[in-house]
Chain A
Amino acid sequence: MLTLTKDRALALALLLMVAVMWMESGDIRPPTSWQPYGSALFPRILLVVVGLLSLLILVRSLWVNVPERPGAIQLITDWFQSRRTTLALFLLFGLYAALLPVVGYIAATIGFLVASLALLLGIDTRRKWMINLTLSGTLAIVIFIVFRYGLNVWLP
């Protein structure tokens, strides 16, 4: 069975994206006498380029001998497990983006900073908690004041 490698995963993901976008490009208004080239031509040229390059990457990756490795699902699970901190940080950022309009800038920012600093710094000592809370609170408020009163930018 074919082993999943970085290049193979990349090429397959891009080929899938090209297929989806090619189908979606069918919805773009067709050329007219006023617009003889139409709006789909440029993205389609790019899709062909990306598709061809992805195919080349895929073909080249098949030439390389890869030692036998566990199945694709196992590999993906291992990959996610070895990057738990990174994934948690992405998750916290996504949560931050979702909460911003709901609870407002100050609460969401303090929440995001406290949670992500706790994740990265740890919470095993009182000193770390003090650094975390002081930094999160101060920074969220200082940035708010700078944007709101210094730069006249309203934050949510």
Chain B
Amino acid sequence: MTNFFLQALAEVGTPSVLGLIIIGVLFGIVGGSIPGFTVTMAILVVFPFTFAMDPVSGVSLMVGVFVGGYSGGIVSGVMLGIPGTPSSITTVYDGYPMAQKGEPGRALGIGVASSFLGTLISVAVLVFFGPLIARFSMNFRPWEITALIVFALTLVAGLSSGALLKGLMAAALGLLVTTVGYDRNSNLRFDFGLPAMGSGFEILPVMIGIFAFSQLLGNIEKLKDEKSDAKKIDTNVTIPYGLILKDMAGQKLNTLRSSLIGSLVGALPGTGGTVANFLSYDQAKKFSRHPEEFGTGTPSGIVASEASNSAVAGGAFVPTLALGIPGDLPMAIMMGVLILHGITPGPMMFEQNPVLVGAIYTSLLIGAVVMVLCNLLLVRWFAKISLIPQQILVPVVLMLCAIGAYALNNNLFDIWVLFIFGIIGYLLWKADVPLTPLILGVVLGDNLERQLFRALELNESWLTFLTRPLSALFLALAVASILFSLYQDRKIQRLKNAAQRENI
């Protein structure tokens, strides 16, 4: 293990890679601190810059963005009272009141320290469980992998609040996108007579189009609801280091519990930082001796929120690296980036690319240290940057998306793919179709088809999927996740109806 880390450190510890991690963390914090920008968008903007890099450099830069992005939400959460990312919503509950009481430095310091510890604990979880799950999943044959992908897609679709049918439909649509172009047998499908369609759609322009356009244009449409007094905030912040150390000393259990919740939730498909955030805040409140203080500016609330959302970073890498199945949207994009660099995430990665796996662990650790330093030293600047208006951000990010799509293969067709899927993504978003299952479908489609037909070529009976215990278990879990979502949907509907009746 020591040798493994030393080898990885030798790869990541070079000045150029360290520089990239610092840039990544800085950009991630900036991205996370701008309300409405999100970690996913920050990753999307940075990914074209990794094309010309070697895998270790590219992945280190992306990991930096990932770590910085999850911690960046605290800046706008504390200073503006607006969560920079959805995963820092509960940070606002206590961070903002503490800042309003004249202690913004204390709130930011507690948040940053919790983020740091959350990331460290999640890396420990990743280092321990990643190889363990990968070793176990080495026994998976095509039947199990097919069933596992189906389970992951149904789980993500089912978690789309109150929209099970649309979630499942989005997942199927995502899979359908991957059937365009030449297939595994070199047969052409759905080219509609257009030669450019023959090679199919690149994953990244499709993902960027679907996600970026809906998100950015959605931000523009929401602009009129934004408060105009945001510019009046005081960005002159002093960090009281001694007080923060004292605060953190009393939060050991809360930090550990919240970080473990974050890591676990991060490892589950379809959940991510937002769920971790609410779950650990709720648990911290339940375990607290003073639950009445939550929401008034207590350090416990900030710790629960920030430790858990930062711990998602390490946890989310577990299924992506060990099984090749991304848990959430940022991880789906991260997986796209790994594929772009010729690396197929999955159990074999631990055997074929151990240095890269080590580089990810090490980058996460270094990123956590850089994140603390950057946040504490540059918080004043991040607060100022978080005020950049969406009217300026949106055109700039759209332009970067176009250049990113083009630079992928120096192909103008990819910009059109981006544009068309941008329109599709926007319209689907307007129709309340959840986009995460769609994007996961796009990422997993090729593998699903390959594994399904490999299974059928090995044994032509479809019943084999039900006679192999693990495959049957995953399929049963898929059915259970759908049934559970149906139950949840009905419950939500009943509550809505009851509320309507009360209003009448």
Contact = CB atoms under 8 A, between A and B. Distances in A.
Q: Do A and B bind each other?
A: yes
Interface of A: 6-7, 9-10, 14, 21, 24-25, 28-29, 35-40, 42-43, 46-47, 49-50, 53-54, 56-57, 60, 83, 85-86, 89-90, 93-94, 96-97, 100-101, 105, 109, 112-113, 116-117, 120-121, 131, 135, 139-140, 143, 146-147, 151-156
With most chain B CB atoms within 10 A of its CB, the pick from A85, A151, A152 is A151
Contact of A153 (B51, B165, B389, B412): B51
Interface string B45-85: 00011011100000000000000000000000000000000
26 contacts: A10-B431, A24-B190, A25-B190, A28-B188, A39-B183, A42-B449, A42-B453, A49-B168, A50-B176, A57-B166, A86-B217, A86-B221, A89-B220, A89-B395, A90-B423, A90-B426, A97-B416, A101-B412, A116-B398, A120-B390, A121-B389, A135-B392, A151-B53, A153-B407, A154-B410, A156-B406
A120 B394 contact: yes
Q: Which 8 A-B pairs have the closest CB atoms?
A: A116-B395, A120-B391, A39-B187, A53-B169, A43-B179, A151-B52, A10-B431, A49-B172
A147 B323 CA distance: 34
B49 A151 contact: yes
B422 to A, nearest CB: 7
B190 A117 contact: no
Contact of B172 (A7, A53, A101, A121): A53
B361 interface: no
Nearest to B452: A42
B406 A100 contact: yes
Given A120-B220, A147-B407, A155-B406, A43 B176 contact: yes
A57 B168 CA distance: 11
A29 B187 contact: yes
Contact of A93 (B49, B175, B398, B460): B398
Contact of B395 (A21, A47, A94, A112): A112
A42 B143 CA distance: 15
A127 to B, nearest CB: 13
Interface in B396-430: 396, 398-400, 402-403, 406-407, 410, 412, 415-416, 419, 422-423, 426, 428, 430
A14 B48 CA distance: 32
Contact of A143 (B173, B217, B403, B422): B403
Given A10-B431, A35-B185, A53-B169, A121 B51 contact: no
Nearest to A20: B192
Given A121-B391, A147-B407, A96 B402 contact: yes
Interface residues of B, number: 57
Given A120-B394, A121-B392, A53 B165 contact: yes
A68 to B, nearest CB: 20
A148 to B, nearest CB: 11
Interface of B: 48-49, 51-53, 165-166, 168-169, 172-173, 175-176, 179, 183, 185, 187-190, 192, 213, 217, 220-221, 389-392, 394-396, 398-400, 402-403, 406-407, 410, 412, 415-416, 419, 422-423, 426, 428, 430-433, 449, 452-453, 456, 460
Contacts of B396: 113, 135, 139
A155 B453 contact: no
Interface centre among B51, B172, B456 (most CB of A within 10 A): B172
Contacts of B406: 100, 155-156
A35 B189 CA distance: 15
A89 B213 CA distance: 10
B17 to A, nearest CB: 16
B391 A28 contact: no
A50 B174 CA distance: 10
A89 B217 contact: yes
Given A94-B419, A116-B398, A121-B392, A25 B412 contact: no
B189 A40 contact: yes
A50 to B, nearest CB: 5
A156 B432 CA distance: 37
Contact of A117 (B165, B179, B392, B433): B392
B483 to A, nearest CB: 16
A97 B415 CA distance: 6
Nearest to B221: A86
B407 A9 contact: no
B220 A147 contact: no
A86 B220 contact: yes
B293 to A, nearest CB: 42
Nearest to B52: A151
Nearest to A34: B185
B403 A147 contact: yes
A109 to B, nearest CB: 6
B176 A151 contact: no
